[in-house]
Amino acid sequence: MRIRPRILVGSLSIALLPMLVLLLALQIVALVQQNINIGNSLQDSVARLKDDFSRDMDKYQNFVYFTSRSIKNFGRNDLRDLTDPAISFMFNKLRLTTLELTYGPEVLSRKLNMNNDFSLEYILDSEKAKFYWNQMDDPLMPWYATLSTPDLVSNIFVMRHIAVIYNSGLAEKVGLVVATMPIDNIYMTDLVGTSQDLIAVVNVGGILISSSQWPLQPEAISKMHRAFGRKRAGYEQLNIPGKGDYYFAFDSLFREKGKDIADIGILVRGDEFRQLMTTNLIVSLILFIVISAAATLVALSFSNRLTVPLLDLRAMVLNFQRNLEMIPRPSRIQDEIDELQDGFGRMTESIWNYQESLVEYSQNLNESNRKLQELDRLKTEFLNSVAHEVRTPLTSMVGFARLIERFAQDDLRQFLPQDVPKVAKTVNNIVGNAQIIFEEGMRLTDLLNDFLDLAKIESGKVEWKMEMTNLRTAAEHALISVKPMFEKKGLQVELIAGKDLPNIVCDKNKIIQVLINLLSNAAKFTDQGKVVCDIQATGSELLFSVSDTGIGISPDNLGRIFEKFKQVGEIVFKDIKGTGLGLAICKEIVEYHRGRIWAESEYGKGTTVSFALPLAFSVGRGEEKAG
C-alpha cells in the first residue's frame, strides 16, 4: 500500500515530537547532573589520560616489534651496535632510555639515550633479563606477541617493551629486544600537552613517582591520595593555602596480576573548572531552547497537516451522530484521510438508505400490528358474544341434567320394579348419561367463565376489590375448595404458613382464585405423594409456593405454561381436561398486584409454581402501616 506524503510526514511528526521532547529532557538532566557532579568530569579527564597513555604504549610495542623483525641470524657472540638509522631515529623520537638485545637470558648489546642522566639505572640486570626471557619463551605465546610491563627503578616507574628475536624464519626463539621508557616528570608534562590540568603518578602507598609540576609537597600528595581512598569514583576538593581550591581524582594506571601498582591523578583549579562548566551549561541550555523551539514548530507545522483534517472529519461524524447530516465525499482522493472521509461518506449514504428501508418496514409492521390488534379485538368481541349467548342455555342444560339425574335416582327407582334387569339397566343408563351431561356442562361453564374473566382483565373492565387480607385465612379457604379433588385421588396436602404473617392489601377473592388454580393443577398432575402450599414473608415480599410430586414439566415447555390455551400435560395425560387459561389468568392477577409469578420443575419429579406479592401496603398483626 502506498503511503502518501501528508500521512507519512504528519505521522512521523506526531510520533517523533514526544520522543524529541524526552531526549531533550534527558539532555537537560544530563547537563544539570554534569554541572553538579564535577567528579564525573574529573574521572573522564583521568580516563582520557589513560587512553593517551595506552596509545603511547602501542607505539613502543610497534617499535620493539619492528626492531626484532629487522635482526637476522642473531648469535651468542653477535655484539651489535644497534646503529641502524631507522632504529636510531625511532629510538630518539620515542624518548626511550635504553634499547637492549639479549641472547636467551644474556644481555649482549645496549643502546643508551645519553640525554637522560639516569639512563644507566634503567638497564637490565641478569635477573630481570632471565625473568623476561622465561615469559616470552612460553610455547603458548604467539610469534607476533609483544609484552609491556612496568618496573620500578630507584622509585621511578619505567615501562619495559619486549619482543622476541627469531632465527630461521620463525622456527627458533634466540633472544629479546627490550626497550625501556621512564614514566618521569618530563613524560607526564608531555602527556598533559597544552592542557592546564596537572597530573601525577603515585604508587599504592601514595608516594609521588612523577608529576607535571603539582603545587604540592610529596607529603601532601600522599595525604590527598589516602583521603581519596580506593573508591575509584567521584572526586575530592582540596584547599591549598596561598594557591586556592582545587578538585582532584585518582584512578588505577598500572595493574599486574590483578593488583594495582600505581595510580594516576588529576588536579584542576576550582574557579577555572566551575567557570568552564557554567559556560558549557549556558551554551547547552541555549542550544536546547533553540533546538526545542525549532523542533516543536516543525513538528506542529507538519502535524497540523494531519490533525486539522482529522478534526474536521470528527466534527462531521459528530454532526451526523446528532443530526443525521450526511458526510460529504471528497471530490478528489489524495491521501488516506480523503479515503477515510470517502469511506465515512459511503457509510452515511448506506445508513440513509437503510433508514429509509427501516421506515418503510416500520410502517408496514405498524399497519400489520394494527390489523392484528383489530382482528384480536374482533375475535375477543365475537368470543365474548358467543360465550354470553352460550352460557344462558348451557346453565339451563346443566340444571335440567341435574334434575333428570335426581328424578332417575329418586322417583324412577321408587316407582319402577328394580328386580327387572331391563328396567334397572335403563334407569342406570339414564342416571349415568345425566351425570355426564352435568359434568361436561360444568366443564364448559368453567371454560366460559375463565375466558370471560381473562377478557375482562385484559380489557381493564374487572372490578377489583382491594382490602386488607390475611393470606393464611385465604389459603385455608382455597384448600377447603379443592379438598375433594385431593381426597378423590388419595393425596396429602399440607399448608405451611406462619401465624404472624403480615396482612396485605389485595383483592382477596382474586388471590384465592390464584391459589385454587395452582392447587387444582397440582392435584390434576399428581398421582402419588403430596402437595405443599408454603407462605413466607421474605424481605419486602410475601412469597407463595405450591409444590407437587407429579409428572413435572420439560425445560422446553416450562417457559410456555403461562401462555393462553397452553396445556403441556395433555400429551401425557389425555384424560386430564382443562381450559389452558388458568395460569394465564393467574399471571394477569399477580401482575395487577405488581407481583411476579414463575415456575420451577424437574421432569418426572415434580413442579413448584411460585408467586410473590409486594408488602408495600401491608400491615402487621392488625396494625396498618403507612402506605
Q: What is the CA radius of gyration of the chain?
A: 58
Decide: 157 and 183 in contact? Cβ < 8 Å: yes
Q: Which tens digits make up the pLDDT trace of 340-367?
A: 777 777 787 777 777 778 888 888 888 8
Grid cell for residue 508: 382477596
Listing DSSP states for 296-338 in one string gives HHHHHHHHHHHHHHHHHHHHHHHHHHHH-PPPPPPSS--SHHH
Of residues 535 and 156, the one with the higher pLDDT is 535
Using pLDDT thresholds of 50, 70 and 90, give the confidence band for residue 253: confident
Q: Which residues, 6+ apart, have CB-to-CB distance to 373 below 8 Å?
A: none
- CA-nearest of 17, 39, 36 to 28 is 36
Q: Which tens digits make up the pLDDT trace of 283-337?
A: 777 877 877 777 777 666 666 666 677 777 777 777 766 766 767 777 777 777 7
Does the pLDDT value for residue 20 go beyond 80?
no
* pLDDT of res. 151: 80
Rounded to whole angstroms, how far apart are CA atoms 550 and 482?
17
- CA-nearest of 503, 506, 515 to 544 is 515
* Coil/strand/helix, residue 123: coil
Q: Which tens digits make up the pLDDT trace of 534-556?
A: 999 888 889 999 999 988 888 88
DSSP 479: H
Of residues 507 and 623, the one with the higher pLDDT is 507
Q: Which tens digits make up the pLDDT trace of 577-604?
A: 556 678 888 898 999 899 999 999 988 8
Which residues pair with residue 324 across a beta bridge?
none
* pLDDT of res. 92: 73
* Helix, strand, coil percentages in the chain from 3-state DSSP, rounded to 5: 55, 20, 25
Which of 83-92, 179-188, 516-525, 557-566 is least confident? 83-92
* Coil/strand/helix, residue 99: strand
Average pLDDT of span 509-536: 91
> Mean pLDDT in the chain?
75
Q: Which strands make up the sheet holding 541-547, listed edge to edge?
A: 492-497, 530-538, 541-547, 606-614, 596-602
Q: Which tens digits make up the pLDDT trace of 256-282?
A: 666 666 777 777 777 777 776 777 678
228 by Cβ neighbours in 10 Å (0-12 / 13-18 / 19+) ranks as buried
* pLDDT of res. 598: 93
Hey, what's the torsion of the CAs at 446, 563, 455, 390, to 10 degrees?
A: -40
Rounded to whole angstroms, how far apart are CA atoms 316 and 551?
63
Q: Which residue reads 628475536 in cell numbers?
A: 165
Q: What angle do CA 297, 303, 308 make, to 5 degrees?
A: 120
What are the backbone angles phi and psi of residue 150, rounded to the nearest 5°?
A: -80, 155
For the chain, percent of residues with pLDDT exceeding 70: 67
Q: What angle do CA 350, 352, 358 make, to 5 degrees?
A: 100
CATH of 465-624, one of 1.25.40.10, 3.30.565.10, 2.60.120.330, 3.90.1150.10: 3.30.565.10
Does the pLDDT value for residue 622 go beyond 50?
no
Rounded to whole angstroms, how far apart are CA atoms 394 and 55?
128
Grid cell for residue 573: 395425560
Using pLDDT thresholds of 50, 70 and 90, give the confidence band for residue 60: confident
* pLDDT of res. 566: 61
Does the pLDDT value for residue 532 go beyond 80?
yes
